[in-house]
Structures are given as C-alpha cells and as structure tokens.
Amino acid sequence: MKYTQLGRTGLKVSRLTLGTMNFGPLTNEPDSHAIMDAALDAGINYFDTANVYGWDENKGRTEEILGTWFTKGGERRDKVVLATKVYGNMATDGKPAWPNHDLLSAVNIRRSVEASLKRLQTDYIDIYQFHHIDRRTPFDEIWQAIDTLVTQGKILYAGSSNFPGYKIAQANEVAARRGSYGLVSEQCLYNLAERSAEMEVIPAAQDYGLGVIPWSPLHSGLLGGVLKKEGEGKRRTGGRAAEELAKPEKRARVQAYEDLLDKHGLAPGEVALAWLLTRPGITGPIVGPRTPEQLTSALRAVDLDLSDELLESLDEIFPGPGPSPESFAW
C-alpha cells in the first residue's frame, strides 16, 4: 500500500479509503469483519463510515459493526484512521427528526458524537465530517462545538462532505478568524464520468489544504465494465447507472471506454480508480467492497501505472469541464 498526507495535516493515510456503507445492508457482520481484516492486512488504514449508514430501520448499524470489529483487539483501533459523519436524521420508521436531532447545531453535534462513540466502541474519532452543508447554522457555532470536542479529546480533526467550493472557503475563513484548525478533508462525488468537482471544489480544497476523498469512484458501477457484464448476463443494471445508460451519448462513451481498456487488456474498474490516483489534490478514493474479491480488485489499482497515451484517450472519452472561471467566462 502507498500512503500520503491528508491535506495539510501530518496524518498519513492510505491511497485507498475503505468505505463501509454496504456493511449491514448488503454485507453481514462476519463478512464485514473479514473485509476489514483483509483491508488492514493490505495496508489500508483509512476507514470511512457515517452515523446514518445501515439506513431506514437500521441507522447506526454500520457503526456498530465497526465497533464489534474494534473490540476484537489486535491493535485494530490503533491502526485505523477512523472517519464518521454527522448531519442526517437518525429517526426510524419514517418519522421526522425530533427538534435538534439532525443538521449541525452545536446541540446535535455533541449528541451525535456521543452516540457514534458508543456505537463504534471507541473513545475518539479521528476525522469527524459534516455530511452536508447546514444553511441555518453559522460556522461560528459549528466551530465552537468542534473546538470543544477537540479539547475533550473526542475528535481530532474535522472534515466536510458534499460541500461546494464557496462553503469550503467560508468554513475555513471562519475557522481562521477563530483560531480553529478548520476543515482538513472533503469527500465529493468525483470520477471519470462526473468531473464537475474540478471546477471549484477541488481547487478550493487545494487552496485551503484539504485532502480530497472521492466517493462513487465507479459512478455507481458505470465505470466497472457494466456493458460487458450486461452482455454476459452477469449484471442487471439499475439505479444511477441505468439512468446514465439510457442516454445514447452516455452509453456511447461507456462503450468507448470499455473498448479502449479491452484493447489494452485492463479492467475498467481498476483503471477508474487508478485514474483518480493520478489527479491533482486527490488523497484517495473511497472503495466500498461487498466481497473480499472486490477488495482485491481495488487493491490492484494502487500499483497500476497508466501511460500518458492512455490518460489522453480517457480525457477524450470523458472530457473535464475545464478550469473555473475560464470554462464558462471566456
């Protein structure tokens, strides 16, 4: 495994992040533990989760699965850089959140940290992330809550997820004014097929020293060889990938992508991950394996060298938006 600094921090993290969203809903506890053991054995030290994972009636279940894994010992907790998130409504049965039981008020941040620590069976969280922007809560209040938790030793760093560039700037300018450390990471949707983050989110993150952690690196399977799997009867495409493939232009691009990699003898999913590792400002993508085999495939991407010729061909198939503001101003 290769490692890099997380943004401007001194924290070393693996170039792949283990995403745990499937643990509970799609992968049972024993298999989830086996995948985490395999990831740790392979050198992945950055694990990402969220308080709402488990979804619906089982919100919090994913954090609980990590917690029981940590209790197995073997320095599991000490070896892992643990990231979780706050924002979502934790109510079940489709009920609305009780007042102050969601979003980013100081009250909910404090309550949510305590609940996550209990489920995770740990006394600290390395990176506590805001899962979305909260338009109603000022950053002064958010940083007051975060600084208190840092002083208490319950969290070490704060990160963001799904923030636009201007909110990254706003958050860190308020933090600087207060003498707070500010955001150290941003998780955003970014992959070969969805490159809008290149316009403002990634440049803002770079300017403010945030590590960028792309989620959905295969764009819901669209970049994982979906057309070939469809043709072989191995996969029935649904969700976002099906919506994209219903558009003739998008389907043609995916076909060109698969044809290009077939010519080079490369696996589409591994190339999609390896491409992200070549991009400026990227710490490492989140991979969310449902099986050990999927984890093994993702690990191969770390050592996959993409030629300049191949990178140029990928840009031709999936062109980026260009820099901001030139891409829309001139």
DSSP characters over 106-134: HHHHHHHHHHHHHHHT-S-EEEEEESS--
153 burial class (0-12, 13-18, 19+ CB within 10 angstroms)?
exposed
- Tell me how far CA of residue 160 lies from CA of 31, 94, 123, 187, 191, in angstroms: 29, 26, 21, 6, 18
Long-range contacts of 92-100 (CB under 8 A, 24+ apart): 92/56, 92/57, 92/59, 93/57
Structure tokens at 74: 């073997």
For 20-56, letters b (16+ CB in 10 Å) and e give: bbbbbeebeeebbbbbbebbbebebbbbbbbbbbbee
Contact in structure between 186 and 210 (CB atoms under 8 Å):
yes
DSSP characters over 181-244: --EEEEEEE-BTTB-GGGTTHHHHHHHTT-EEEEE-TTTTTTTSSHHHHHHTTS----HHHHHH
Q: Which residues are catalytic?
A: 53
The Cα 81–Cα 83 span in angstroms is 7
Which residue from 267, 256, 286 is spatially nearest to 13, judged by alpha carbons?
Answer: 286
